[in-house]
């Protein structure tokens, strides 16, 4: 109670003092200092706390509208964030560029509540933005609307993230037809960038009214564009990796295909087929470098019309016509002839190909120039892109290796054939009655094989067998080979050993194993009474049956130690008599048909009187 009274008294005393006019004292004690007088315009608040400020209350209807507006803004903001979140989840798990771009236009239309949205992708090889996806348009503009780099350069260089155009029907100078056809009013373009790299753009259009965007919408839009740019860049990288893997796979197949070929003609033919198929060029050509003549000689072409194929063989290029620099040779650079007309005979080539968009790449291996590949006329494309260039350089590398290997093989094969011909000549020297026998047998056997439409590899094998079919006579005594009188039983058995001896000699050379089989069986008879293995009918190798007919016919029409040559009519009659017993009847019929056409050419009959 005492404390309460003291406080009350103090408060009352303060009130009494405030009511008394201020008097300046003559003396004041240090212990009792006078309190300052309150400012008359700012009266001190009574008590220890100030009263809170008060406002006039809003009408109940206005307060409701403010709350509703705020609630709608929050709902809209949350919806946009959810759209971005869902889109980001989809984009992070998607690697297909087309799927990402199609998803972007759907998301952007929903996000901005737009009337139409398009998504443009940056084509680095052409320096253009090209529409790759769209939604809300009356017409499909995919791949049709293109914005060249020159138009965008000021914006790209400035580093702007977006630009906005209103009343575009009045201000647009380009795409006027698109804008009026689609009745577009405003356009917001947001660029997709990754660092300084341009990846694309999203275009948001409105119809009927000009659309304005809030600061929050633009902030969310830029965040969305950043996520989209990352997804597009990942898709670009994934696409590039897939393309590089596909190129590597194709080049591996090329190496396997052409690496298994030994003929230079087969190698160049196969390369042209692969080039035409993989690069989709209209025309592909291979020129082989002749070091002695310093000329590029035409080898193979694909895609030329039939009436122009003969003209290609006249297209001989001089060294100065296709003069690659040392750097271009070492790097196998792809050169566009149109960009350097002074270095390439464009007019000369265009007169043959009727195409002017020519690209050359040198064929180089181990530092040695082998030729050049030229391509022209792209199906559905204007020029090379990076993928085409990488692939063509890879093709050139594999082609150079294959051509070098095939050239080396043909050189070795030529030397090998020289050895075979030397062996055949040695046999003919040993048995003078068989002079030129092998060449005649080759002519007859090749004619039968061509009539049967055998492949080149089989005909080549047959020719080798014709040259070497009597190689085993090296092991037969000269007295038996040159004997004029009839042979004894033992002498005949001895001479019947020559197919086996020849086969054993040839089998020791791995590349002649197939020839050895033909040589061993060329004296078998169709009825099974021949030697050395008494094979019959279809069990006798077909090439051996062809050789039997050709060999026997030449023997009949040639002089031998024990008899004179038969004339053509007698030899034909003998073939007919032995058909089905000694010879394959089908082959006899074919040979007689060919003989009727070529007997004059073979020197077996006089030409008809004129």
∠ CA 584-590-593 to the nearest 5 degrees?
Answer: 140
Quote the number of domains for the chain.
3
What is d(CA 107, CA 378) in angstroms, rounded to the nearest whole number?
37
pLDDT of 410 over the 70 cut: yes
Where does residue 332 rank: exposed (0-12), middle (13-18), buried (19+ CB within 10 A)?
buried
Beta-bridged to residue 510, according to DSSP, are none
The predicted pLDDT at position 13 comes to: 44
Strand order in the sheet with 197-207: 146-148, 128-135, 116-123, 197-207, 184-194, 162-165
pLDDT of 415 over the 90 cut: no
437 and 401 within one domain: no
The predicted pLDDT at position 17 comes to: 41
Per residue in 190-244, pLDDT (tens digit) is 888 888 788 888 888 888 888 887 787 788 778 878 888 888 888 888 888 888 8
Whose CA is closest to 583, among 531, 523, 534? 523
284 and 144 within one domain: no
What is d(CA 100, CA 87) in angstroms, rounded to the nearest whole number?
10
pTM of the model: 0.56
Whether 528 is covered by a domain: the verdict is yes
What is d(CA 512, CA 457) in angstroms, rounded to the nearest whole number?
13
The predicted pLDDT at position 19 comes to: 42
DSSP secondary structure code for residue 337 in this structure: G
376 and 456 within one domain: no
The predicted pLDDT at position 1 comes to: 39
∠ CA 91-96-101 to the nearest 5 degrees?
Answer: 65
Q: What Å distances lie between residue 458 and 92, 499, 517, CA to CA?
A: 59, 20, 13
What is d(CA 508, CA 512) in angstroms, rounded to the nearest whole number?
8
CB 579 within 8 A of CB 588: yes
The predicted pLDDT at position 499 comes to: 93
157 and 198 within one domain: yes
Q: Determine the average pLDDT of the residues in 537-559.
A: 92
Whether 52 is covered by a domain: the verdict is no
The predicted pLDDT at position 124 comes to: 75
pLDDT of 86 over the 80 cut: no
What is d(CA 20, CA 10) in angstroms, rounded to the nearest whole number?
16
Whether 558 is covered by a domain: the verdict is yes
Q: Determine the average pLDDT of the residues in 499-516.
A: 86
581 and 457 within one domain: yes
What is d(CA 59, CA 75) in angstroms, rounded to the nearest whole number?
25
The predicted pLDDT at position 238 comes to: 85
Whether 556 is covered by a domain: the verdict is yes
Whether 41 is covered by a domain: the verdict is no
440 and 390 within one domain: no
Quote the percentage of the chain above a pLDDT of 90. 17
What is d(CA 303, CA 568) in angstroms, rounded to the nearest whole number?
48
Whether 9 is covered by a domain: the verdict is no
271 and 222 within one domain: no
Helix, strand, coil % in the chain, rounded to nearest 5:
55, 15, 30
Q: Which of 365, 389, 406 is the last residue of a domain?
A: 406
Q: Which of 204, 237, 270 is the last residue of a domain?
A: 237
* Cβ contacts of 466 within 8 Å, gap of 6 or more: 438, 441, 442, 445, 547, 550, 551
147 and 112 within one domain: yes
Q: What Å distances lie between residue 55 and 52, 58, 60, 327, CA to CA?
A: 10, 9, 14, 85
Whether 34 is covered by a domain: the verdict is no
276 and 160 within one domain: no
Q: Determine the average pLDDT of the residues in 27-35.
A: 49
487 and 386 within one domain: no
- Alpha-carbon Rg of the chain, whole angstroms? 48
Beta-bridged to residue 541, according to DSSP, are none
Place of tokens 């999203």: 202
CB 446 within 8 A of CB 396: no
pLDDT of 504 over the 50 cut: yes
Per residue in 461-487, pLDDT (tens digit) is 999 899 888 888 888 888 888 788 888
Q: Which of 346, 371, 406 is the last residue of a domain?
A: 406
291 and 204 within one domain: no
What is d(CA 524, CA 532) in angstroms, rounded to the nearest whole number?
7
CB 107 within 8 A of CB 97: no
Whats the size of the chain, residue-wise? 610
More confident call, 512 vs 342? 512
What is d(CA 501, CA 520) in angstroms, rounded to the nearest whole number?
8
Q: Give me the CATH number covering residue 182.
A: 3.30.450.40
The secondary structure of 482-499 as a DSSP string is: T--SPPPHHHHHHHTTHH
76 and 208 within one domain: yes
Whose CA is closest to 204, among 98, 132, 107? 107
Where does residue 297 rank: exposed (0-12), middle (13-18), buried (19+ CB within 10 A)?
middle
Whether 25 is covered by a domain: the verdict is no
3-state SS assignment for residue 396: helix
pLDDT of 447 over the 90 cut: yes
- Largest pairwise CA distance in the chain: 180
pLDDT of 33 over the 70 cut: no
Mean pLDDT of the chain: 78
Per residue in 38-66, pLDDT (tens digit) is 555 555 545 455 555 554 554 555 555 55
Q: Give me the CATH number covering residue 554.
A: 1.10.3210.10
Whose CA is closest to 401, among 198, 212, 260, 545? 260
What the block records as the tokens of 179 is 């804008």
Cis peptide upstream of residue 532 (ω within 30 degrees of 0): yes
Whose CA is closest to 90, among 65, 112, 107? 107
Q: What Å distances lie between residue 396 and 254, 268, 328, 375, CA to CA?
A: 11, 11, 13, 12
Please give the residue range of the domain that contains residue 456: 431-598
């Amino acid at each position: 109670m005492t404390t309460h009274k003291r406080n009350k008294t103090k408060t009352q005393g303060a009130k009494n003092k405030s009511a008394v006019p201020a008097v300046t004292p003559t003396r004041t004690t240090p212990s009792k200092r006078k309190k300052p007088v309150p400012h008359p315009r700012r009266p001190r608040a009574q008590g220890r706390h100030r009263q809170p400020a008060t406002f006039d209350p809003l009408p109940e209807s206005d307060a409701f509208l403010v709350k509703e507006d705020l609630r709608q803004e929050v709902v809209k903001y949350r919806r946009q964030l959810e759209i971005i979140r869902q889109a980001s989840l989809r984009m992070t798990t998607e690697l297909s560029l087309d799927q990402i771009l199609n998803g972007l236009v759907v998301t952007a239309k929903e996000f901005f509540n737009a009337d139409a949205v398009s998504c443009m992708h940056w084509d680095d090889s052409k320096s253009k933005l090209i529409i790759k996806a769209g939604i809300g348009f009356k017409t499909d503009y995919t791949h049709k609307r293109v914005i060249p780099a020159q138009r965008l350069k000021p914006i790209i260089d400035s580093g702007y993230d977006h630009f906005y155009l209103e009343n575009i029907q009045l201000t647009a100078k380009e795409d006027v037809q698109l804008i009026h056809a689609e009745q577009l009013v405003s356009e917001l373009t947001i660029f997709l960038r990754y660092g300084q790299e341009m990846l694309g753009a999203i275009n948001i259009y409105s119809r009927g009214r000009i659309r304005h965007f809030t600061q929050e919408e633009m902030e969310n839009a830029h965040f969305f564009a950043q996520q989209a740019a990352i997804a597009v860049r990942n898709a670009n990288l994934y696409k590039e990796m897939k393309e590089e893997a596909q190129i590597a796979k194709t080049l591996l197949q090329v190496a396997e295909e052409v690496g298994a070929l030994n003929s230079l003609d087969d190698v160049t033919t196969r390369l042209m087929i692969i080039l035409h198929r993989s690069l989709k060029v209209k025309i592909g050509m291979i020129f082989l470098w002749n070091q002695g003549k310093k000329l590029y000689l035409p080898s193979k072409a694909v895609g030329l019309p039939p009436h122009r194929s003969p003209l290609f063989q006249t297209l001989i290029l001089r060294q100065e016509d296709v003069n690659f620099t040392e750097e271009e040779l070492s790097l196998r650079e792809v050169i566009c002839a149109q960009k350097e007309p002074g270095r390439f005979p464009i007019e000369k080539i265009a007169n043959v190909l009727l195409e002017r968009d020519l690209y050359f790449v040198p064929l180089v291996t181990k530092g040695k120039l082998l030729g050049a590949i030229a391509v022209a006329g792209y199906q559905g494309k204007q020029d090379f892109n990076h993928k085409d260039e990488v692939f063509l350089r890879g093709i050139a590398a594999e082609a150079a290796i294959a051509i070098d290997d095939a050239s080396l093989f043909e050189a070795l094969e030529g030397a090998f054939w020289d050895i075979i011909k030397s062996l055949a000549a040695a046999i003919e020297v040993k048995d003078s009655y068989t002079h030129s026998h092998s060449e005649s047998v080759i002519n007859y056997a090749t004619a039968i094989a061509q009539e049967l439409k055998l492949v080149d590899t089989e005909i080549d094998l047959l020719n080798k067998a014709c040259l070497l079919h009597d190689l085993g006579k090296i092991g037969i005594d000269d007295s038996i080979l040159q004997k004029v009188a009839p042979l004894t039983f033992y002498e005949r058995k001895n001479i019947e050993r020559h197919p086996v001896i020849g086969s054993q000699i040839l089998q020791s050379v791995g590349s002649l194993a197939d020839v050895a089989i033909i040589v061993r069986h060329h004296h078998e008879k169709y009825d099974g009474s021949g030697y050395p293995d008494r094979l019959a009918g279809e069990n006798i190798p077909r090439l051996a049956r062809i050789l039997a007919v050709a060999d026997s016919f030449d023997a009949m029409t040639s002089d031998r130690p024990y008899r004179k040559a038969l004339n053509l009519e007698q030899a034909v009659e003998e073939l007919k008599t032995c058909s089905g017993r000694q010879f394959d009847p089908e082959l006899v019929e074919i040979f007689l048909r060919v003989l009727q056409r070529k007997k004059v050419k073979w020197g077996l009959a006089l030409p008809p009187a004129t």
